[in-house]
């Protein structure tokens, strides 16, 4: 067995996840990990899969494309070997950064520029329009890995300076605190 990264992108429709997972089963591949989302009408998924050695990566790719076509599922497929190499040694703390305010071009790049300069990795990003597109307000939630060499207070100050320029609000909390504060309690 070897591990591969397989991604799928295309128009959403019922049955896509079944089409992908059943293809993997037919090819004797085990889905080790998956992340899937839908933005508006677009489906995206990335999988880490265990692939039998006898099935070359190029063959896996070709069989996935052919299988999706047979099932009338319109998805672009990419495949590559999974090497497991991470961007750092894992010495990082999880933080949640929230940004909210009027939506405008440059909102994401303005904040992510601060992360990039400080070598802070974005592990998850979600941008939504809570009141719909008509009210023009955006909410962006970043889950980031803060390396130990980065001072959280200094990063927070740099994020606030960027947020002031963008005329939005920014908040930054350790993920444990964020989850404790925002956890919905049963009634």
* pLDDT tens per residue across span 89-128: 668 899 999 999 999 899 999 999 999 999 999 999 998 8
Does 178 share its domain with 96?
yes
In degrees, rounded to 5, the angle at the alpha carbon of residue 127 between the alpha carbons of residues 184 and 87 is 95
Q: What is the CATH number of the domain that holds 32?
A: 3.30.70.260
What pLDDT is attached to residue 133? 67
The sheet with strand 30-39 has its strands ordered as 30-39, 42-51, 2-11, 75-81
Q: Spell out a b/e string for 144-168, using b for 16 or more CB atoms within 10 Å of the CB, else e.
A: bbbbeebeeeebbebbeebbeebeb
Which segments of the chain have a pLDDT < 70?
Answer: 89-90, 131-133
CA-CA-CA-CA torsion sign (139, 145, 150, 152) = positive
User: Are residues 99 and 175 both part of a single domain?
Assistant: yes
- Give the domain range for residue 131: 92-182
Q: Indicate whether 106 belongs to any domain.
A: yes
Is the same domain home to 177 and 98? yes
- Boundary-marking domain end, from 55, 81, 107: 81
Q: Which token pair is 118?
A: 């400080």
Collapsing DSSP states into helix, strand and coil, what is residue 134? helix
Tokens of 58: 């190029």
What's the full length of the chain, in residues? 187
Q: State how far the Cα of 154 lies from the Cα of 160, in Å rounded to an integer.
A: 10
Cβ-count burial of 109 within 10 angstroms (0-12 exposed, 13-18 middle, 19+ buried)? exposed
The answer on 105 and 166 residing in a single domain is yes
Structure token digits, residue 33: 């990990």
**Same domain? 18 vs 57:** yes
Question: What is the value of pTM for the model shown?
Answer: 0.78
Predicted pLDDT of residue 24:
96
pLDDT of residue 74: 92
Question: Cα separation of 10 and 77, whole Å?
Answer: 9
């Amino acid at each position: 067995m070897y591990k591969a990264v397989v991604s799928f992108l295309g128009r959403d429709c019922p049955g896509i996840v079944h089409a992908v997972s059943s293809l993997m089963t037919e090819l004797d591949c085990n889905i080790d990990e998956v992340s899937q989302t839908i933005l508006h009408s677009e489906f995206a998924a990335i999988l880490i899969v265990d692939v039998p050695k006898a099935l070359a990566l190029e063959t896996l790719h070709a069989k996935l494309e052919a299988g999706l076509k047979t099932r009338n599922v319109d998805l672009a497929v990419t495949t590559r070997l999974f090497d497991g190499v991470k961007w750092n040694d894992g010495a990082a703390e999880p933080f949640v950064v929230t940004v909210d305010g009027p939506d405008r071009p440059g909102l994401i790049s303005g904040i992510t520029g601060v992360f990039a300069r400080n070598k802070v990795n974005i592990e998850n990003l979600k941008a939504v329009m809570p009141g719909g597109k008509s009210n023009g307000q955006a909410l962006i939630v970043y889950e980031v890995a803060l390396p130990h060499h980065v001072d959280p207070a200094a990063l927070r100050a740099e994020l606030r300076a960027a947020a002031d320029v963008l005329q939005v609000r920014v908040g930054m909390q350790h993920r444990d605190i964020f989850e404790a504060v925002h956890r919905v309690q049963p009634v």
